Structure 1
Amino acid sequence: MKRKRVVALVLALGLTLLVTSVAGASGPPVKYDRWIECSDIGQFQYSYEVPGAPIGSWSAYGNTIDIYVRTYDWNLFSWRATSGIGAVIVKTESETLGQRSNVWLYDPQSTGDIGLYGPGQLDIHSATFCWTGAPVCADETAWAAGSRYVRRGNWATYTPYVAGQTVVLYAGQTQQAGTVTFSAPVDGMVTITIALNSGWSFADVAENVKIQDYATAPSGNPSPGLFTWKGTASGSSFSIAVPENNFYGVHVDVALCQ
């Protein structure tokens, strides 16, 4: 690339703005004597290849990557992204050296770096960005398995109390989010333990566990916000002690992350 063209691009893109958001170069690259892809170096969800001299802005899979020319001497470039990047592969090709790759790895994922270049400091063939996005979580309402409060509409369920019993925790009516176990009574109290299956978590809200005890089987649409016993759970399991009774409505706010 000719010097005049590169200098103009540097001025147009405002390279100096990048340096303030990047801590510094990540170190020397891992070198390969062939072209490699993201799948060769890790388990990444996404990859995006920028062909030719990588200058400009690209958006892919919810991430925006800005690439800037760093200098006109060695085909150096710098980049920043709106979401973390796990690796950058810089490829070159020549008659004497063949196809080669320089790889910068970031653990944890980085949102920027400076001074990247191709093998042999040759003209860059392409730059490939590899990353894994944050998990997408969907919130669901869950109830301990049992009988429905009402025959139509609301699918909420209550559970007859049996000491030592474990029932399924259903989210969205059909998804098995975990289990709910009712202990034997101790001094008139029953410990209810909620254990979530892999991939499920307690929703990131206050009082994500709500429980109501009943002497007789309830009827009518329940109002979990008015339940007597409440707690805020995190991790994969949660236990709460409630008075012994004949029936329990166990409502849990959960999330499935994928």
Structure 2
Amino acid sequence: MTSKKVLMILIVLLCILSTSLTALAATGLGIEPVLLHLTVGDAASEISQTECDPDFAFKVDNSAENGTYPTGDGNIITITSSNGYTFDWQSKWPVTCVLVKAGKDFYNVFYYPNGSYGDTGLYAATNPSNEKPFEISHVTFGYNELSMCYQEETAWAKGTRYVERGNWAMYVDHRDKEKKVVDLIAGGGNPSSGTVVGTATISAPADDEVTIKISLTGGAVFYYDLDDPNNDDNLKVQDYATAPKGNPAPGKFDWKYSIAPHLTTYTFTVPYNNFYGIHLDVAVPVPCN
């Protein structure tokens, strides 16, 4: 084989390789990913490390297998044409970013600043050790509710402040053992100037337990626990035999619950005691910018 023929073959191979790489560079909508190295966590934690700022997040934690995935908040995400390395997706609500995780901490982040209801040909990053595509580990979607934006807030059941100054956290006195309905206050700073986002109904004790029903109102919804990168325990309760003193640490409360973001009610039972601290992570509707 002459050197000229060898050169021609190399040129053809380079053209084929170049075409292949170009085809992978952008999705069906022409979106090119941004490669980031992120700390693995729950959906909200991963999204918070990017330039994406959606109201809701959802992780498909099974290598992006084909299927329909109800997110628990009203959205439905569908994955098709998945082969472990690439996939297509559709969403009932507008998606603003998709994080494709592979390897230890490689994330191809596809941004949709105007929101998108679907795209094709998303893919994982390339393994730098062998220049071959990684197999997809999981996929995280960030999305917004149709024509609605939310602002995250901390809420407490209204009662007596743990401390007089600084932290505005409150606890409820239940020594009378009577059924009571107390407001849920969000907004911080001063309970009297906060926003009522619902009620907590605490039952009279029965069999040494009380039943507590959370009812969010005014458009408020359960939201993510943004302080915890691995768990979305967005409802935390602590019971006390004596009135508590000092700043509370909700992350160390005994009773923790993970309620799907966007839900508005939840009922649970805890042991009867004299006082209760009830802490929630919620979101309230705000105008979309």
Q: TM-score, normalised by structure 2?
A: 0.45
Larger % of strand: which? 1
Which is higher, the Rg of structure 1 or of structure 2? 1
Q: TM-score, normalised by structure 1?
A: 0.50
